[in-house]
């Protein structure tokens, strides 16, 4: 039997795991551990493990204003993709966003992450913007889903 666990990244070990998963999936915008700690103060950061092995991380940015739009980002390490784990992590993060009152969900995917773009499209997200961060060459794709 497989032990699948999703937990909030609220310990140093979990924050390091979150950082590793984020930086692996988004190598063009790596975050320091201090960056991750700062994000954990304003967003919900979760990590996912299967049989004790890190498989991914998620971010939920709460709605900032009356638009009720929350950002939900699920990142699965490449070696664990295609096994349904993204569905589990996304559903977990989406439930948290809904509990915060979100009626619109936004996400952001690195354009070179074809798996992530397909995942978002399959769930009804539509592209709203592409942009390149200063010093980068690979665009980010912002997508939106109205619940």
pTM: 0.93
Nearest to 84 by CA among 117, 55, 110, 121: 55
Q: How many domains does the chain have?
A: 1
- CATH code (residue 142): 3.40.630.30
> How would residue 1 be classed by pLDDT, with cut points 50, 70 and 90?
low
> How would residue 131 be classed by pLDDT, with cut points 50, 70 and 90?
very high
Nearest to 89 by CA among 44, 37, 127, 130: 44
The residue ranking higher by pLDDT, 20 or 101, is 20
Show the domain range for 32.
4-146
Average pLDDT, the chain: 94
Give the DSSP letter of residue 78: G
């Amino acid at each position: 039997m497989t032990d699948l666990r999703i937990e909030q990244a609220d310990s140093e070990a979990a924050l390091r795991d979150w950082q590793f998963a984020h930086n692996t999936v988004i190598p063009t915008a790596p975050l320091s551990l201090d960056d991750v700690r700062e994000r954990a103060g304003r967003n919900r950061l979760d990590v996912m493990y299967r049989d004790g092995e890190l498989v991914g991380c998620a971010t939920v940015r709460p709605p900032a204003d009356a638009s009720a739009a929350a950002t939900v980002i699920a990142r699965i390490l490449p070696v664990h993709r295609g096994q349904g784990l993204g569905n589990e992590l996304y559903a977990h993060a989406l439930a948290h966003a809904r509990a915060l009152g979100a009626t619109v969900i936004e996400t952001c995917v690195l354009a070179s992450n074809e798996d992530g773009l397909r995942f978002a499209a399959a769930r009804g997200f539509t592209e709203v913007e592409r942009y390149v961060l200063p010093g980068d060459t690979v665009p980010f794709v912002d997508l939106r889903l109205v619940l």
